[in-house]
Chain A
Amino acid sequence: MSRNLNSFVLADSKKCIGCRVCEVACAVAHLDTEIKTVGNMNFSLNPRLYLVKTPEITMPVQCRHCEDAPCLKSCPVSAIKEQSNRIVIDEAGCIGCKSCIMACPFGAIELIVSRQERVGDEEDRLRDEPEVVASKCDLCGGAPACVKACPREALQYVDMVKERTQRRIEAANKMSGFHNEFMVREG
């Protein structure tokens, strides 16, 4: 099997200060119009990662883009797909049944009021548009807005191929000295 593993964004709870800038950046990145100031918003921010705060840790949680994605498997109408190494929700196909929410071990999926409904005029709104749709991290098409916005570099875009290679190099560097020593003694 020669298939690249899906990338995902991971937060470092030691660096995260819980400022929610990542959430704001994510929500802004998924608007269909360009909005710069708070005063221009006439709807709430709908991020796709969620700050978690417990007495012990502070960090945002988002979709892990699982290889064997439980959400994808649970969707009765096949609205969740794997596309160019990402797990994505086809909002138009979603019926809002919440199966994926139940299936996701990370709690990375939310139901949001569908975009058409949020910004469209009352009259324009398609009557058969779903009221709510499932929403989750789509990796911003490969350039995660949350990672860029974090003031503490607490978020990392994990590319599995690079990550694996890097770890092997580090391991090799550490092991070579140890191994040679061992070999010498053996000889």
Chain B
Amino acid sequence: MAKKLQENIKIDAELCTGCGRCSEVCPVDAIEGEEGKPQSVNVAKCVMCGQCVQICSAYDSPFEQYATSRSQRLKERNMPIVKEPLFAAYYHGDFFKVKKRLADKKQFSMVQCAPAVRVSLAEEFGMPLGSLVPGKMVAALKRLGFTRVYDTNFAADLTIMEEGSELVKRITEGGSLPMFTSCCPAWVKFVENEYPELIDHLSSCKSPQQMAGSMFKTYGASVDGVDAREVYSVAIMPCTCKKFEANRPEMKSSGYQDVDAVLTTRELAYLIKEAAIDFNALPEESFDKPLGMYSGAGTIFGVTGGVMEAAIRTAYELITKEPIENVNVTSVRGEQGVRKVTLDTGALKLKTVVVSGLKNVIPILEDIQRGKADFHFMEVMTCPAGCISGGGQPKMLLPVDGRKAYENRKSSTYQHDEEQRYRKSHENPEIQDIYQKFLGEPLGHKSHKLLHTHYKPSR
């Protein structure tokens, strides 16, 4: 099963012209083939970020004749019947799997949406690039029949509680430093593939997707008085690698597979269109509680620097026991592939590094191996602008619109942060509540079992 899943990202040899643009963007040189000839993906190297899928512009031209019919191609990709052009680089979808389960009205389904989906989904319905639509997204999910519409952002807040405490613990009590974020599955897989000796540096925290999944099937199930076995847990993600993450054998803390299915932003749009829901006319509805309430810190996880900023907002207060002067830690925001920021907490100068684009992390990892690392905490996102630019996000017809889309999605993300009543993860009342009623304390016994994991070398 795991083997098959790794072949998530594929290149259609009949459509590929061998232009090589995918290998230019591939951060791990996983694209192989002769120049000008159809390319293929080396599954052992591929981290499934889907950047090749985003850049490929070789499509099924109506003026050419192919041996494979369009319907066969759709079938191979697990796509519903659509009229849009099909491109050479693609990912395997899970559309039919989810559609079938949703049709079963007895199903108790819980869905979570990653922060980056609410700033991009509307693009698939003709709205301006980067439109912010959390309310309409919730309304659409309810009409699709999900029993509980929860949110990954809640779990992002939970991640900060655990990861912030883990960082403070490693600094004060010892442990592998610098500590690396582990939210991005493509980054985690990259460390496992290429730098297994650095695995201990990864935070033991699961990603927000997986934390949400295990919360759904434990706490969430108990809130509704249903058995974990009956819960169908779905995640809507900007990311093609999240499908792989959800199927990792480690991800069964609830006793069942914590996330049963992952749909990309694009696949959610197909579901909405197929159900003939008029997305643009939907009212704004709210996420269900408790697992759907989030702070501004949870929502900025979607952009590069977001995890770091959210962590700083909480870690600063954990360390100093004083409120942070300015919640907008703008120094960690930005465009560059590597940003180094030192945070003065009085007691400690917290040195941080934010990396976007996997290629940019290699020199830093080399430095760490040579014992030359002089910082505490590093956030790494595989995709160029963070998850807002993920492989499962709406695909632009033209590359110039891609840049515009990233910019707009980013500013919508920060706008959404500013709109939240709570801006720090530890101030989210539902987070406080879940620790009181269920988890106990960060890094406690229960959190350890449900929210943390261990990564192992893959070769």
**Chain A: residues with CB nearer than 8 A to chain B?**
17-21, 23-25, 28, 35-47, 50-51, 53, 58, 110, 112, 149, 151
Within the complex, the shortest CB–CB distance from A17 to chain B, in Å, comes to 4
Complex interface residues of chain B between 22 and 60 (CB less than 8 A to chain A): 36, 57-60
B174 on interface, CB distance cutoff 8 Å: no
Please state if B84 and A28 are interface contacts (CB–CB under 8 Å).
Answer: no
Q: How far is the CA of A19 from the CA of B398 in the complex (A)?
A: 12
Knowing A19-B57, A24-B57, A151-B21, the reply to whether A38 touches B397 (Cβ < 8 A) is yes
Please state if B58 and A39 are interface contacts (CB–CB under 8 Å).
Answer: no
B401 on interface, CB distance cutoff 8 Å: yes
Please state if A50 and B63 are interface contacts (CB–CB under 8 Å).
Answer: yes
Q: How far is the CA of A151 from the CA of B55 in the complex (A)?
A: 12
Please state if B36 and A25 are interface contacts (CB–CB under 8 Å).
Answer: no
Interface 0/1 of B122-142, CB less than 8 Å to A:
011110010000000000000
Knowing A19-B19, A20-B58, A45-B59, the reply to whether A38 touches B398 (Cβ < 8 A) is no
Please state if A18 and B36 are interface contacts (CB–CB under 8 Å).
Answer: yes
Please state if B17 and A20 are interface contacts (CB–CB under 8 Å).
Answer: yes
Knowing A38-B397, A39-B394, A149-B398, the reply to whether A20 touches B57 (Cβ < 8 A) is yes
- Chain A neighbourhood of B18, CB < 8 A: 18
Within the complex, the shortest CB–CB distance from A39 to chain B, in Å, comes to 4
| From A18, A40, A44, contact of B17 by CB (8 A) | A18
Knowing A19-B17, A19-B21, the reply to whether A42 touches B396 (Cβ < 8 A) is no
Q: How far is the CA of A112 from the CA of B398 in the complex (A)?
A: 22
B226 on interface, CB distance cutoff 8 Å: no
Within the complex, the shortest CB–CB distance from A6 to chain B, in Å, comes to 24
Chain B interface main SS type: loop
Knowing A39-B124, A50-B63, the reply to whether A25 touches B398 (Cβ < 8 A) is yes
Please state if A53 and B17 are interface contacts (CB–CB under 8 Å).
Answer: yes
- Chain B neighbourhood of A51, CB < 8 A: 17
- Chain A neighbourhood of B57, CB < 8 A: 19-21, 23-24
Please state if B83 and A37 are interface contacts (CB–CB under 8 Å).
Answer: no
Q: How large is the interface on B (under 10, 10 to 19, 20 to 34, 35 or more residues)?
A: 35 or more
23 CB < 8 A contacts A-B: A18-B17, A18-B19, A18-B36, A19-B19, A24-B397, A24-B398, A35-B126, A36-B396, A36-B397, A37-B397, A38-B87, A38-B394, A39-B266, A40-B84, A40-B124, A40-B125, A44-B83, A45-B62, A46-B62, A47-B61, A50-B63, A53-B36, A110-B63
- Chain A neighbourhood of B74, CB < 8 A: none
Please state if A39 and B269 are interface contacts (CB–CB under 8 Å).
Answer: yes
- Chain B neighbourhood of A112, CB < 8 A: 62
Chain A residue nearest to B393 (CB atoms) is A37
- Chain B neighbourhood of A25, CB < 8 A: 398
Knowing A20-B17, A44-B85, A51-B17, the reply to whether A39 touches B395 (Cβ < 8 A) is yes
Q: How far is the CA of A19 from the CA of B59 in the complex (A)?
A: 9
Please state if B394 and A37 are interface contacts (CB–CB under 8 Å).
Answer: yes
Knowing A36-B123, A38-B395, the reply to whether A20 touches B59 (Cβ < 8 A) is yes
Q: How far is the CA of A39 from the CA of B397 in the complex (A)?
A: 9
Knowing A28-B398, A41-B85, the reply to whether A17 touches B19 (Cβ < 8 A) is yes
